[in-house]
Each structure stands twice: as C-alpha cells, then as structure tokens.
Chains A and B, each alone.
Chain A
C-alpha cells in the first residue's frame, strides 16, 4: 500500500516529566491548563489530547487553521483512557455532564470541536496493534482521496485507575507511562506493509520505555525521528496475543517542521 508521509508528530510522555530511572509504577502526565469556560469540566484525557495536537502543530510549525475543515480525517486509538471517566461516573463522583465524558468518542470530539475538524473519522479500541492499524487506515483514506491529511491520535492515562492496575501488575511490563500523541500524515511516496500474527506468547521482561498501550508506537516513532533514522521505519506492538509489525518506507515529508 502507498505509505503516507509524516508532516508532524507531537508526543507528551509521563517519562519525560520524571527523573530518569524512576521506579514509580505509574509515570503520570500533568493535567494541562486550557483557558475558557468550555474546558471547566473537561476530563484529563481530553485535555491531553488537545495538548498533543498543540505539540504536533508546534512540531510542524503550523497553526490550527492548517488542519481545520472537512478534508482532515481523525483516527483515535486507546486501550484504556476512558477508564478514569468510567470509574468517576461509577463511583458517582461525576454528574450529568460527566456521563458524556465516559464515551471514548468524546476525546476525538473535543479535538474536532477545538480545531474545527469535520472530516472522516474512526475510533479503534486496543493496544499497539490498533495504532498500527489506524496508521494503515489513514494511509487508505489518503490514498483513496477521502481526505487530504489524516491525524492519528493516541491517548493513554493510568493514574486514576492505579488501584485496578496494581491488581494486575504481573500482566504489565515495566512502569505504566502516560502518553498522549498525535501524528499528522499526508500523501507520500513510500510503501507501508502491516503484518499481524495472533497466538503470540505474552512478552516477558520490560517493554522498552515502559508500558504505553496504544500510544507506544507513536512514542517509538518519535524516537526514530529524533535519532534521524534514514531507512524504513519498523514499528511493532503486542496486545491480547496479537503481534503486529508495520514496515514503513518514505516516512519523511518535504513540508516544514522538525519531523520533516
């Protein structure tokens, strides 16, 4: 399949805000501040999604108007970011408004409202393989002309549900690193190839850079770009017995921006 090119990538990571080598089980991200009454009750995962888009625009030296409109597709991926809002609603700490925020669809909705995105969209639930699949879906939307640019947004937060995750710490690999990331893709000239195998044994040992669920591949991609990787990029991830690999050549865009 024809591969998209990266125009920009913004990644916010809990790890970056914690001293290197921290043994903390969860490396959290701060609740970003956003001015305006509209954000008074907005959840942390939504605010982090908005901050990730801001970081992406900064990386691409672009303003919000560059992504506004119906020619921008938005693909959102998460394994568990809705957990915090669900828990809050179940434990009756939230009111009427809070129920709406329990839907995973509300995170990309806040992004769409704030940045004026009215194009095609998709929402995938799952770990890293779902994110690789979202990149592939974005490539298909671009290739078929259904959009001119596609954003792949991934958000994972863990701190509010720390107690639940603590019960299952043996299933997790390394510290849980809260991450919000947004990737801006445009039509490119490379090749994209997704391979997926089910039935893989659970991975042993620590995940590189900690456990980031769906946001892992975008954090890995940021590292690749920062290293100045010249050849094809290979992203991989495991989730529920699926082992997925995305081989991607021609990742770099000719457009302005530090990722370019």
Chain B
C-alpha cells in the first residue's frame, strides 16, 4: 500500500480571549493567564451564569470594509489576518482556484438568525445566518476560489475541519487549505447552556475534584495546510492522522464508558500508522464537567493502555472556556507549539486531584518537555467524537 501523502501544518493564526495572535495566545497559555470575564457584548442579566471567554474587542483589524458586521465572520477574518501575517500566505505563488477553505463550527452565523427573527429584514441576514455563511465570507476575504467547506460536528468541528482539509490535499483537489474552526458567544448559545445547567459559577477546573461545569468562550483558529513536499520553509508540524466515531447513545449526553471516544482514538492512531506507545502528549477535551472528565479519563486509559499513565495530559479550557468549533483547532496548535518551544502549558485551576481522574494532568505550572507525537481529543453534542494525531516539525 502506498504511503499516504504527508500534510504539513505550515502556520496558524488565532483570535482568542487570551490573545489576538499566535504568540500572545501561547504566552498566555504557558503563564497560566485566564480569559474568563463578565460577558459584555450581549445581555446576560437574566442568565444564571454571566461569565465566559469573551474577546473584548477584535482589535487586529482597523478597517472592516467589505466584512459584514457578523461576529462569527469577524472572528474568522481576524484569525485569517493573523494567519496571513504568520505564513506570508498572500505572497505565496498560489493559484486562487487551488486554495480551499474548510471551517468547523457548532453555531455558524446563528446570531444573524436571531437578528433576522427580531425583525432585521436585510437581505444578507438570512444568507449569513446559515451555518456555512461565515466560511463563505472568509473565502471571499482571502480571495480563495477553491472548494469552500463547512463542517459542523459540534464541539469536535475544529478537528474534523483539519482532517477534511488534509484529505483535500491528499486527493489533489487543492494545493493549499486554510482550515480550522470558530464560534462566537451570543445570546442563543449562552441561553441554551444556561438552561442545560452545564455552566459553572466557579472557575473552570478540568480534572479537579471540585469541578462543577464549563464556561463558554469564543475564538477563531485557522491553519495553513499544504502537502509537505510543497513546503520549502519552516512549518509547525504535520497532521498525521484522524479518527471519528459516533456514540449512538444520546443526543446531548456522552456515552458513560467513553467507548465512542476510545474508537475515535484507536482509529486516529491507525490512520497515523503509530501506536499508543509513540504518543508523548495528550491534549484532552477536558471541559471540566463532572461527567466529561471522568469519561475521557476512562477512554484514554483503555485506548492508550499503560501509556496513559506515562504521558502528560493537559486541558486549556480553564484559560479560554469552551470555544466550541474553535476548541479542537486551538488545542492542535497548542500541541505543536509545545513541541516547538519545549514547554507544555499547565491545566489551569487544577488544584485538588480527583481519584477518578488519575492521569498526569500537568497541574500548577508549565512543564519542560519536547513531545514528538501528540494526540488531541474532542467530544461533542450528538455523540460526535474526534481525535487527531500530530507530529512535531
């Protein structure tokens, strides 16, 4: 069987509650900074929980001409602006018809739908309210004329987008792919999670005995993917493998044994052609809900065997909140930066160990280490489980 085409993650760009470019994002992660604050952009007075990982001002771009006043689109465009700076994308000799865009989202432009239903009759509102609206706008901003794809595997969307982007390159349908994820904080999702009572009034404490729920965040996270043989300069790393699996259990609750996540991890390792023994770092989904962290720990134990106890497992949701469609892409970037910089960011707010969560979750402060192969896991509504295997440059 032929060796699969290797796909490089050349560069990344982000806009997050802890930094509006990749360097600021990384610095905040390793110093244990928190982006959680009182939500100001939308009314929250009627909600039980009023905090989240809000980007206070999308300050990267001064001139928004040509970009609609859609929050989700602007997060994407701001992340793309950082990506262009990091990668020199606009200067690369690429045929626009061979540049694809693949974005993952849990919410798309749903806030535009809220505005349309509130009486805004602007013609573009409905088009932007469809979940593929912001991705189409991003392609327009980039001038990309290749395939434009939106995936929505709930909170695993960012991982799915990176995998679909890699597939486009392997199948020769594009020469460069801008891939990642995004989601914006809006009334719709805040009201929904508030009603589900899955948000905490405390800090987000992944894997801590006192953990009591998640907080939502917003972000845009995009990578430039290219076939490795087409990349002359530096790169962040390689997208080595991906696996997905349905729980087939419940529309909102995860399967109690984590069998779906276990299958996704096993499939990702097989796709990457590596074994559990090769993994050096796990970026966990780690939402800090009582159920998620226990189930994820169990799935990691089974999928990785004894290796689960030998590798660091961190979660960055204490810093950012749960950024939904952007989360898995941000976590993938964190893995590759950890490998590049030789430092693993800590799991923020993890202070009291939970006997049911008995892996090495990197509490306290950043740890010196230089992982070579990394596993990033994601779980989402509808029983969507995804896993990515990444390799250091």
Mark A residues whose CB is within 8 Å of B: 1, 70, 74, 79-80, 82-83, 86-87, 89-91, 95-96, 99-106, 108-110, 112-113, 115-126, 130, 133, 137, 140, 146, 164-165, 167-168, 171, 194, 196-199, 240, 242
Contacts and interface: CB of A to CB of B under 8 A. Distances in A.
Contacts of B154: 103, 105
Contacts of B123: 167-168
A43 B173 CA distance: 36
Contact of A104 (B131, B147, B250): B131
B389 interface: no
B195 A118 contact: no
Interface string B64-107: 00000000000000000000000000000000010000000010
A102 B243 CA distance: 25
Contact of B152 (A86, A104, A137, A140): A104
A115 B147 CA distance: 32
Contact of A102 (B148, B171, B192): B192
B167 interface: yes
Given A70-B263, A79-B132, A109 B251 contact: yes
Contact of B150 (A70, A126, A198): A126
Interface in B107-147: 108, 110, 113-114, 116-117, 121, 123, 126-127, 129-132, 136, 145-147
B160 interface: yes
B243 A120 contact: yes
A116 B384 CA distance: 14
B149 interface: yes
B117 A122 contact: no
B286 to A, nearest CB: 20
A121 B110 contact: no
Contacts of B61: none
A216 to B, nearest CB: 16
A101 B251 contact: yes
A105 B149 CA distance: 16
Interface in B244-260: 244-252, 259-260
A99 B187 CA distance: 12
B149 A130 contact: yes
25 contacts: A80-B130, A86-B113, A86-B188, A96-B196, A99-B195, A99-B196, A100-B381, A102-B188, A104-B152, A105-B154, A105-B380, A106-B381, A108-B246, A120-B244, A121-B244, A122-B160, A122-B164, A122-B244, A123-B153, A125-B132, A125-B152, A130-B150, A133-B149, A164-B126, A242-B148
